[in-house]
Amino acid sequence: MEKYLFDEKNGLWYELVGDYYLPCVTAPVTDELGTWGRLRFRHLREHQNGIYTGMLLSGKLETHLTEVNAKAEEMFERLVDEMAEDEGITEELKAVDQMAWVQQMNSIRSRAAEIVREELIYA
């Protein structure tokens, strides 16, 4: 029996382990995914095991995590910019009172991160 087989139907390689062929799949390297991709990876693995396993076996997990990371980063930046504009946080405030600017921007970033987590990561 061959040590490795390729199944053209699903595009996966299989390795002979004992008497059985097991799919050669690995989880993506999470260091390259970014913060949001790693959060999504952990959420899928811990709370949505069926979806995680299906994506892992079909080879779509890494693509999904990369897309989620890009969308989340874009959404986060847009939310921070919109909230800062709505609340009147400007460069003038930064020049006049840096501590107030930092406090308000930290609050905005925290709220934006919570929105991204609820709408994209944990959805």
Contact 101, 94 (CB under 8 A): yes
Judge if pTM exceeds 0.85.
no
Per-residue pLDDT of the chain (123 residues; tens, 9 = 90+): 788 888 888 777 888 888 888 888 776 666 678 999 999 999 999 999 999 989 988 889 989 999 999 999 999 999 999 999 999 999 999 999 999 999 999 999 999 999 999 999 998
Neighbouring CB atoms inside 10 A of 91's CB total 8
